[in-house]
């Protein structure tokens, strides 16, 4: 008797075993990763802003942790890119959030206060420009000519 050989697409099988680009975690599960940075994206399904944090896991794979949890975003705001961190999933469904513990902090490329000061100065410049534009518009008000 001959055994029947099953068809297997090796490329698809390999892809299915890799797990994709997103980091998946069970409730209470923790993972140690190296935090690289983030980007802001639009979640079309829920029509809101989400944050995609890029990390490298212990196997050297680059993964993305996607969340719209403000608590999680606030926790990542305190982490310097290239730091080694431990992420733990502590909620499920629409209450999903993650705790973040810094294990080895990286050195910031710029002092934090300087970055905040630059952003505040840029915002102030934008406000000053907007006020100047308002003054010009007031001079050219078409209702004054009537």
Residues 6+ away with beta carbon under 8 Å from 62: 21, 36, 54, 55, 56
Query: pLDDT tens digits for 76-119?
Result: 999 999 999 999 999 998 899 999 999 999 998 876 665 555 55
How high is the pLDDT of residue 137?
Answer: 47
Q: 141 falls in which pLDDT band (50, 70, 90)? A: very low
Cα angle 99, 86, 70; round to 5: 30
Strand order across the 48-57 sheet: 62-67, 48-57, 30-43, 84-89, 98-104
* Least confident window among 13-17, 42-46, 60-64, 91-95: 13-17
Q: In which residue are the tokens 């998946």 written? A: 24
The Cα–Cα gap between 123 and 129 comes to 10
Position 116 scores a pLDDT of: 54
Which residue would you say has higher pLDDT here, 84 or 123? 84
- Residues 51, 112: Cα–Cα separation, whole Å: 21
Question: What is d(CA 19, CA 52) in angstroms, rounded to the nearest whole number?
Answer: 17
Higher pLDDT, 129 or 37: 37
Average pLDDT over the chain, rounded to whole?
80
Provide the 3-class DSSP secondary structure of residue 89: strand
Can you tell me the mean pLDDT for 56-80?
A: 94
Q: Tell which residue, 30, 15, 22, has the closest CA to residue 63.
A: 22
pLDDT of amino acid 142: 41
Residue that has been written with the tokens 């629409």 in this structure = 94
Among 49-63, 88-102, 124-138, the least confident range: 124-138
């Amino acid at each position: 008797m001959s055994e029947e050989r099953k068809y297997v697409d090796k490329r698809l099988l390999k892809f299915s075993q890799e797990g994709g680009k997103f980091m998946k975690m069970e409730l209470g599960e923790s993972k140690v990763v190296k935090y690289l940075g983030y980007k802001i994206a639009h979640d079309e399904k829920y029509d809101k802003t989400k944050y995609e944090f890029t990390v490298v896991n212990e196997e050297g794979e680059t993964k993305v942790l996607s969340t719209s949890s403000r608590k999680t975003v606030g926790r990542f705001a305190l982490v310097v890119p290239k730091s080694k961190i431990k992420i733990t999933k502590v909620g499920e469904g629409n209450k999903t959030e993650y705790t973040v513990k810094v294990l080895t902090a990286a050195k910031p490329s710029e002092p934090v206060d300087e970055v905040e000061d630059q952003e505040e100065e840029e915002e102030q410049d934008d406000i000053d420009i907007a006020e100047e534009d308002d003054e010009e518009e007031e001079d050219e008000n078409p209702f004054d000519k009537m």
